[in-house]
Structure 1
Amino acid sequence: MHLRSSALAVVFISSIALFSQLTPVAEAHSWADCIDWRFNGKEDWSDDGGYCRGYARRFPVGKEFASLDHNSPSRHYQQDNDDLDPNRALACSDRKHGKDRGSDETRASPVSDAYTGSWGRMTTTEVGKKLCVRWPAKNHAESNEDDTIVQINLSTIKDGKDPDQEELLENTVAKLKYKNCGHHKVPDKRPCGGCFEVPERESGTYLLQWRWELNPGEWYTSCADVYINNKS
């Protein structure tokens, strides 16, 4: 009887292993795909519905939408630090810290160096203007998923070093619904986004942080330099 049970256990474990090899595992994490999304007309987050005029730091352009989880390094950065408190973690990925380290989003000197060559252009906007940010659903916009939030945090000190996460949390300028998405036959590639009004700032360059909470206390971020023009 013992031998029969052992044999059945081996078959069961082998079946699980085979199933795991044959079943593709969907990537579960997201990032800001575009910081300044412009609609062609009505609200449409798909590539046919608009175009991007500003990106995160060192964002590789010319890639298929939602495909950057296959890059090395992948795009997503999950915050974490030694005491496991993401609210005190590094705000932007430096490729050295974090539970998922993501790609390099440290501040360049000058900031324009993160937006040259094969990287996308920097966002330029104005106080009071609507700014729309886009991201891929990564399988988290389905009916069985909670509609989690995306924080948009915007620094208040212009042309300076990046603030820490605690300071950014004092400057949350918008909370967007993660599941504000269009349709795609592949749930992983559904385009999502949200818009907000650029708040009052002096003319200058500021850090904008896209920060998404997948599960309670599990945060992913993307960082971008944004030049804000105050015409008043």
Structure 2
Amino acid sequence: MLFRTTLIASATLALVASVVEAHSWADCVDWRFKNPSKPSFAASGGKCYGWARKYPMDKTPFGKLDSADPNRHYQQKKGDSNPVPCSDGHSGTEPGSDETRQNPISKAYGGKYGKQASATAGDTMCVRWPAKNHAVSSEPEHYVYINMPKKVLSKDPDQKTFTANNIAKIPFKNCNSNGDTDTTPCGGCFKIPSSLSSGNYVVQWRWMLNQGEYYTSCWDVKVSAKATTTTAATTTTTSSAATPSTISSNVTSSDVTLGSSTDVFGTLAL
């Protein structure tokens, strides 16, 4: 009887672990396609030029940081009307690894961490995440919200401020099928507001798995204002950063909630 009870307990713990570890996070936050006309978030389809805060460069395979200690995914406290927006390493229903804003911001990037993302105002940026078994047809389509206050801030805002500054809504299941729904690469693209002045801006990736169950990732993007050239006759504005070209989309207007900027999505074969 003791042996049977031990087996049952072990099986139960294994099931709980698999459920706990099946939640997603932002992986690369500045993904650039090799071929923008055929966008792909697979390793062979592009390269990462920027990462979320304190993202470890330890050669962990894509989508496997939920087994790290601490794990990468962060679930905000359920039922909290204004939860901690970026993991501090101990808050939340499932605390993730620490993504607290650093002082200076550069302390969260470089060395053992990934590079900070950069862009010019008005550029299109793309973000990637692992499916973690939630891109299957049996689950409803939930969305990733990209939230970005349009001011240079001295500290991270609260969740209500992030939510009020939504700039894009991306289908979570916008994925490349690779035969493994745990590590299937998914992602989407959004536009940096064109009116921004130069400075470091905070961005939040927020995904609702179930009703009232949110997961977040945060990063800082170094934005350069558009360069403006004035002549006697005309004024022209140019963008200098080498970011992805605008990507055609198969997402209809009914699937998209537009913020102050245009949402742009990669068209992926599922």
Are positions 1:147 and 2:141 aligned together? yes
Q: Structure 1: 5+ residue runs without aligned partners? A: 1-6
Question: Does 2:167 correspond to 1:170?
Answer: no
Deviation of 1:205 (Å): 0.5
Q: Which residue of 2 aligns with 1:71?
A: 68
Equivalent runs, 1:1-232 vs 2, <5 Å: 16-17=8-9, 19-20=11-12, 25=18, 27-41=21-35, 42-61=38-57, 62-80=59-77, 84-85=79-80, 87-199=81-193, 200-231=195-226, 232=228
Q: AA paired with 2:44?
A: D
Q: How much is the aligned-residue C-alpha RMSD, in angstroms?
A: 2.1
Q: Distance in 1 between matches of 2:52 and 2:5?
A: 44
Distance 2:14 2:77 in 1: 32
C-alpha contact 2:90 2:96 (8 A) present in aligned 1: no
Distance in 2 (CA, whole Å) between partners of 1:73 and 1:22 is 18
Report the residue type matching 1:132 in the other structure.
Answer: C
Which residue in the other structure is 1:4 paired with? none
SS in 2 for 1:88: coil
Q: Aligned partner of 2:42: which letter?
A: S
Stretch moving more, 16-25 or 59-68: 16-25
Does the 8 Å contact 2:54/2:114 carry over to 1?
A: yes
When residues 146 and 230 of structure 1 are mapped into structure 2, their CA distance, relative to the original with a 3 A threshold, is: same
For residues 108-149 of structure 1, give each alpha carbon's deviation from its aligned partner in whole angstroms, at most 9, with x where no partner exists. 111001002110000000111110000000000001011101
Q: Quick check: 2:22–2:132 contact (8 Å CA) kept in 1?
A: yes
Query: Residues 158 and 206 of structure 1 are in contact (CA less than 8 Å); yes or no, is this contact kept in structure 2?
Result: yes
What amino acid does structure 2 have at the position aligned with 1:63?
Answer: T
C-alpha separation in 2, matches of 1:196 and 1:156: 14
Give 1:45 shift: 0.6
**Alignment partners' CA distance in 1, 2:82 and 2:153:** 22
Residue 167 of structure 1, CA deviation: 0.7
Offset from partner CA, 1:152-171 (integer Å, 9 cap, x none): 00022214211111111110
1:96 Cα deviation from its structure 2 partner:
2.0
Is the contact made by 1:207 and 1:224 (CA closer than 8 Å) also made in structure 2?
Answer: yes
Identity of aligned residues (%): 46
Shift in Å, 1:21: 6.9
After superposition, the C-alpha distances for 1:2-43 in whole angstroms (9 at most, x for unaligned) are xxxxx9xx9997775465478783522100001100111121
User: What is the TM-score normalised by the length of structure 2?
Assistant: 0.76
| CA-to-aligned-CA distance 1:158-195 (integer Å, 9 cap, x gap) | 14211111111110000000000001222101000000
Whole-Å separation in 2 of the counterparts to 1:14 and 1:73:
27
Runs of 4+ in structure 1 deviating by more than 3 angstroms, as ranges, are 10-24
Task: Determine the C-alpha separation between the residues in 2 that align with 1:223 and 1:215.
Answer: 20
The aligned amino acid for 2:71 is S
- What residue in structure 2 maps to residue 3 of structure 1? none
Amino acid at match of 1:74: N
Asked whether the 8 Å contact 2:142–2:172 carries over to 1, the reply is yes
Aligned partners of 1:159 and 1:204 also within 8 Å = no
